[in-house]
């Protein structure tokens, strides 16, 4: 009886310690583009991951400047992709800024098909100078 109980416990422990291989995690990709007009400079970094047949956009961060005194600038982000001759816009946002950094969090479902030509174009404007930094997917 003792042997049967020990064998049962050993089998139970062996079953409990079997590890299941974790699902393969998606790799987060980060791409940066810069632009400049005179002394004014902008930088945009986009974060995304390839998931199935799409690039799932996670978010982005911009840095730009200089903003002198009370001058306010704008940062406009447009993410789109071309499929054949049709251009699809999946996200747009424009914000006013007087600081050097802005963060964009993408809403759930902001995806670009992998088999398309996708871009994330950020227009920086400080009221005097402007430039566009474009990140290509992939």
**Domains, the chain, ordered by start:** 23-137 (2.60.40)
Could you tell me if 87 and 43 are in contact, meaning their C-beta atoms sit under 8 angstroms apart? no
Residue 9 has pLDDT above 60, yes or no: no
Q: What's the Cα-to-Cα distance from 104 to each of 5, 55, 75, 88, 93, rounded to whole Å?
A: 60, 16, 11, 20, 9
More confident residue, 101 or 92: 92
Query: What pLDDT, on the 0 to 100 scale, is given for residue 132?
Result: 97
Beta-strand relationship, 101-105 and 86-97? unpaired
More confident residue, 136 or 13: 136
What's the pTM? Answer: 0.76
Dihedral of CA atoms 57, 135, 105, 107 in degrees, nearest 10, equals -40
- Residues 73 and 119: their CA atoms lie apart, in Å, by 23
Query: What pLDDT, on the 0 to 100 scale, is given for residue 127?
Result: 84
Query: What pLDDT, on the 0 to 100 scale, is given for residue 72?
Result: 74
Residue 15 has pLDDT above 70, yes or no: no
| Cβ neighbours of residue 79 closer than 8 Å, sequence gap 6 or more | 57, 89, 90, 91, 92, 110, 112, 118, 119, 120, 121
Q: What's the Cα-to-Cα distance from 108 to each of 10, 105, 111, 138, rounded to whole Å?
A: 46, 9, 8, 19
In tens, the pLDDT along 33-83 reads: 999 999 999 999 999 999 889 999 999 999 998 876 666 789 999 999 999
Query: What pLDDT, on the 0 to 100 scale, is given for residue 67?
Result: 73
DSSP state of 17: T
> CA gyration radius for the chain?
24
């Amino acid at each position: 009886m003792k042997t049967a109980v020990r064998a049962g416990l050993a089998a139970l422990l062996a079953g409990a310690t079997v590890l299941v291989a974790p699902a393969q995690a998606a790799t987060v990709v980060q791409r940066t583009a810069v632009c400049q007009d005179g002394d004014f400079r902008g930088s945009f970094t986009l974060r995304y991951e390839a998931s199935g047949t799409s690039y799932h956009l996670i978010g982005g961060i911009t840095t730009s400047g200089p903003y002198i005194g009370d001058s306010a600038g704008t940062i406009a982000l447009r993410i789109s992709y071309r499929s054949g001759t049709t251009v699809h816009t999946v996200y747009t946002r424009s914000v006013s800024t007087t600081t050097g950094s802005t963060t964009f969090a993408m809403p759930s479902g902001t995806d670009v098909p992998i088999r398309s030509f996708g871009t994330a174009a950020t227009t920086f404007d400080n009221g005097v100078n402007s430039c566009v930094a474009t990140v290509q997917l992939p």
